[in-house]
Amino acid sequence: MAFSWRKLRTAFRLGLLGLCLFIPFATVGQTLLQVPELSGRVIDNTGTLSAAERSVLEEKLAELESASGSQVVVLMVNTTAPEDIAAFANRVGNTWKIGRREVGDGLIVLVAKEDRKIRIEVAKTLEGAVPDLMASRVISQSIAPRFKQGEFFSGLDAGVDQLSVLIRNEGLPAPASDKPSGLQDNGFQWLDLGVFLFFASAVAGSMVRRVFGTRAGSLLVGLACLGIVYFVTRTWWLAGLAGVAGWVMTLLSAAGRNAVGGGSHPTGGVGNHLSWGGSSSSGGFRSGGGGNFGGGGASGGW
């Protein structure tokens, strides 16, 4: 009898070892879906929405952000497999980091069309405005019934309207209005601008001086800094300060270079690693750098 138990234990251990060896091979090829680039307030990777429909939703979400400061993004994908829609939505939220940096008021409406699944992923600050139960109701009462009829735009439009009302009624901190618009919109940061101009003037100044000479080159760099800052901030006094700073920095850089015998400095390429606040995007919309998605929200189907 003792011999039989030993054989059973040995067989169990061998079976367990085989299972551990099999699992890695069984998961080969099931790579997780890559998080899409944050390219706008409405991202439809399924080709379901028309340009006009996307425009209507984007306008509503832009108005919501302007009024409340909260950022809401609609994302449509074919499938989130092999990942659960809730796990994928949470990964998207923590990658995009939408919502204001100092508030963290972001929300994602995710649709996995082929999976017939919907997820409302809520950042922690908005969990009071859109608790799990309310997110579930928005899905079951407003979005899913319309999706069942094939009316995807209508469902998203109704869902966005309900979520907008909930967010507006939460009493969140008002959007800052005393900053220049170019610095407030899209999570732009003063420090990022200063660092960019510092390295850009150092790199560009060296090249421009070689072509136009020290005086003319320094003046051109100063004018370029002035133009860039005015384009971003629409503030003349700030642009003027940046222009003077770029001009002076280029002159000082030339003086320092001559003092050490014209040696080269390893500054090239530094600007390539700078990032201007939040996730990269296009189309005039950027993440506010909020993040902090803790798994709040709800999922549903149709």
101-126 pLDDT per residue, tens: 889 999 999 999 999 999 999 999 99
Band of pLDDT at residue 8, cut at 50, 70 and 90: low
Q: Is 29 a domain residue?
A: no
pLDDT at 292: 84
Asked if residue 66 and residue 166 are part of one domain, the reply reads yes
Are 230 and 240 in contact by the 8 Å Cβ rule? The answer is no
Mean pLDDT within 30-44: 92
Single out the residue in 175, 206, 221 at which a domain terminates. Answer: 175
Mean pLDDT within 161-181: 80
Single out the residue in 141, 175, 209 at which a domain terminates. Answer: 175
Asked if residue 186 and residue 99 are part of one domain, the reply reads no
pLDDT at 273: 36
Q: Is 65 a domain residue?
A: yes
Task: Say whether pLDDT at 238 is over 80.
Answer: no
Task: Say whether pLDDT at 240 is over 90.
Answer: no
Closest-CA residue to 279 (of 106, 80, 32, 118): 106
* 24 sits in which H/E element: helix 2-26
Single pTM value for the model: 0.60
Q: Is 299 a domain residue?
A: no
Asked if residue 203 and residue 118 are part of one domain, the reply reads no
List CB contacts of 295: < 8 A, sequence separation 6 or more: 86, 90
Q: Give 157 or 254, the one with higher predicted confidence.
A: 157
Mean pLDDT within 52-62: 96
Supply 180's token pair: 């220049």
Mean pLDDT within 197-211: 64
Q: Is 278 a domain residue?
A: no
Question: Which segment of 74-78, 81-85, 208-212 scores lowest on mean pLDDT?
Answer: 208-212
Asked if residue 240 and residue 129 are part of one domain, the reply reads no
Q: What's the CATH code of the domain at 96?
A: 3.10.310.50
Task: Say whether pLDDT at 83 is over 60.
Answer: yes
Asked if residue 143 and residue 58 are part of one domain, the reply reads yes
Task: Say whether pLDDT at 234 is over 80.
Answer: no
How many structural domains are present in the chain? 2
pLDDT at 261: 47
Single out the residue in 175, 195, 228 at which a domain terminates. Answer: 175
Band of pLDDT at residue 229, cut at 50, 70 and 90: confident
Asked if residue 81 and residue 101 are part of one domain, the reply reads yes
Residue numbers of the domain that contains 171: 42-175
pLDDT at 78: 97
Asked if residue 224 and residue 153 are part of one domain, the reply reads no
Q: Is 64 a domain residue?
A: yes
Calculate the average pLDDT of the chain. Answer: 78
pLDDT at 236: 73
Strand boundaries in the chain, DSSP class E = 42-44, 71-77, 106-112, 117-122, 296-301
Q: Name residue 298's beta-bridge partners.
A: 120
Q: Is 301 a domain residue?
A: no
Q: Give 10 or 292, the one with higher predicted confidence.
A: 292
- Angstrom distances, CA of residue 281 to CA of 78, 190, 269: 21, 19, 22
Q: Is 253 a domain residue?
A: yes
Distance CA 281, CA 39 (A): 5
Asked if residue 57 and residue 139 are part of one domain, the reply reads yes
Asked if residue 188 and residue 166 are part of one domain, the reply reads no
Asked if residue 171 and residue 52 are part of one domain, the reply reads yes
Asked if residue 171 and residue 50 are part of one domain, the reply reads yes
Distance CA 192, CA 187 (A): 11
pLDDT at 184: 44
Percent of the chain with pLDDT over 90: 46
